[in-house]
Chain A
Amino acid sequence: MSTVVAEQAEPADEASFTSRNILAYVPGVLLLVAIGLLGKYAQIWWNSLAHQQHWRVPDIEYVLWAIVFGLLVANTVGLHRIFRAGVQTYEFWLKIGIVALGVRFVLGDVVKLGGISLVQILVDMALAGGIILAAAHFFGLSGKLGSLLAIGTSICGVSAIVASKGAIRARNSDVSYAIAAILALGAVALFTLPVLGHTIGLTDHEFGLWAGLSVDNTAETTATGYLYSEQAGKIAVLVKSTRNALIGFVVLGFALYWASRGEADRVAPGLRARALFIWDKFPKFVLGFLAVSAIATAGWLSKGQTTNVANVSRWAFLLTFAGVGLNTNIRELVRTGWRPLVVAVIGLVVVAAVSLGLVLITSRGLHWGIGAG
């Protein structure tokens, strides 16, 4: 998420690093650490207080505390520009966390769960993408804004929208609208899905699959999963990474469609050119995740060192959760306008409903599934 939606009119692929001066990142990163630690200790203090006072209250996870503290700072006193460069590195920490999380997965389970979720993702994409495009048409949005919302909602959030921008020659205003709508929905999903999951009685595995399939932006997917439980968080990250790996194929599909209508640059013909296009959009940290999983599977790490690497992942995610809160500007999201938001809400509801159905059918009906270590 970005603090100012207007600044998202020209989103860069590498928005995490906005300055070449390494010192520019220090204040913001320190703020991420401070908010993250505050969230971590708030959970401990809250539980201790509830225990001492004999209160019967739910255990509020550090994930929620960190996000709420970040939200409070960003939407009350605001984020001084000295912190911006460092705070925007939260996606860098997210990716470090995902790569290090590979240590908690056996490679065979990654392949199996990746395969299962791939089937679910493809069904989800076809159904949800079609409905979102129809809704966008019904509400009179431009074809390209509809495409961006379909890409962002059914596939993989802001990264996919940014990756599509050049390929389908979308207008900056459409890109800003689509990103703001996706981010608003990420915030909604973050607070509603865990409650719904508990109400429905989903297992950690089922909820992780559901969050990974239906929450659009990777940082929010991770936070939503970890809000439910650590096990759910790990599954959500794996499923979302599988979704992310499909960015190139989806963007290529939309690029070919708009090029065939003469409204985007032609994609170079030939298999090699298209393979290069897909590789260019491919999220490379997924390879890191697989490599670390392979190292863990090969037994090159002792139990203690595995725990250490897993803890690096936890710390990196803690900074990410603080960054999610600090980068959410509620006033900017409200200003987005209602029509793209309505289409995106339809998208979220459709994707959430379809993916919940798929999760329940595959896990309870077909008994597909594995666990994470």
Chain B
Amino acid sequence: MAAGDDGGELTNGELTRSERLGRIGVDWWATITAGIVVLLAVAGLLPKIPW
């Protein structure tokens, strides 16, 4: 049993939002983050990034 986002208790099969986010691995987080950057670039919304 775990506490839900609203403070209520969840059954074993349910996960809190933070637990669900915690189950996403670093590989996926890196892919999601870089994916957002690339999508912004495709949409022409990525600001100029100097080097």
Task: Find out whether the CB atom of B51 lies under 8 angstroms from the CB atom of A99.
Answer: no
A291's closest neighbor in chain B, by CB?
B35
Which of chain A's residues 301-323 have a Cβ closer than 8 Å to chain B? Answer: 301-302, 304-309, 311-312, 314-315
Which of chain A's residues 95-110 have a Cβ closer than 8 Å to chain B? Answer: 95-96, 98-100, 103
Q: With contacts A16-B26, A17-B26, A305-B41 known, is A99 near B49, CB below 8 A? A: no
Smallest Cβ distance from A142 to chain B, in angstroms?
30
| A14 adjacent to chain B (CB < 8 Å) | yes
| A283 adjacent to chain B (CB < 8 Å) | yes
Task: Find out whether the CB atom of B26 lies under 8 angstroms from the CB atom of A14.
Answer: yes
Cα-based distance from A92 to B37 in the complex (angstroms): 15
Task: Find out whether the CB atom of B38 lies under 8 angstroms from the CB atom of A285.
Answer: no
Smallest Cβ distance from A98 to chain B, in angstroms?
8
Cα-based distance from A300 to B30 in the complex (angstroms): 21
Q: Which residues of A contact B28 (CB under 8 A)?
A: 284
Tally of chain A residues near chain B (CB < 8 A): 35
Which of chain B's residues 5-51 have a Cβ closer than 8 Å to chain A? Answer: 18, 22, 25-31, 33-35, 37-38, 41-42, 44, 46-51
Task: Find out whether the CB atom of A103 lies under 8 angstroms from the CB atom of B38.
Answer: yes
Where chain B touches its partner, the secondary structure class is helix
Q: Which residues of A contact B38 (CB under 8 A)?
A: 100, 103, 292, 295, 301, 309
Tally of chain B residues near chain A (CB < 8 A): 23
Q: Which residues of B contact A301 (CB under 8 A)?
A: 38, 41-42
Cα-based distance from A304 to B28 in the complex (angstroms): 27
Q: With contacts A311-B51, A312-B37 known, is A284 near B46, CB below 8 A? A: no
Smallest Cβ distance from A129 to chain B, in angstroms?
25
Task: Find out whether the CB atom of A315 lies under 8 angstroms from the CB atom of B31.
Answer: no
Cα-based distance from A314 to B51 in the complex (angstroms): 8
Q: With contacts A309-B37, A311-B50, A311-B51 known, is A13 near B22, CB below 8 A? A: no
Q: Among B33, B48, B51, which residue has its beta carbon within 8 angstroms of that of A96?
A: B33
Q: With contacts A99-B34, A315-B51 known, is A309 near B46, CB below 8 A? A: yes
Q: Which residues of B contact A13 (CB under 8 A)?
A: 25
Task: Find out whether the CB atom of B42 lies under 8 angstroms from the CB atom of A308.
Answer: no
Cα-based distance from A285 to B50 in the complex (angstroms): 25
Q: Which residues of B contact A284 (CB under 8 A)?
A: 25, 27-28, 31
Q: Among B31, B46, B51, which residue has its beta carbon within 8 angstroms of that of A285?
A: B31
Q: Which residues of A contact B41 (CB under 8 A)?
A: 301, 305-306, 308-309
Cα-based distance from A98 to B26 in the complex (angstroms): 13
Q: Which residues of A contact B22 (CB under 8 A)?
A: 20
Which B residues form the contact surface with A (CB < 8 A)?
A: 18, 22, 25-31, 33-35, 37-38, 41-42, 44, 46-51
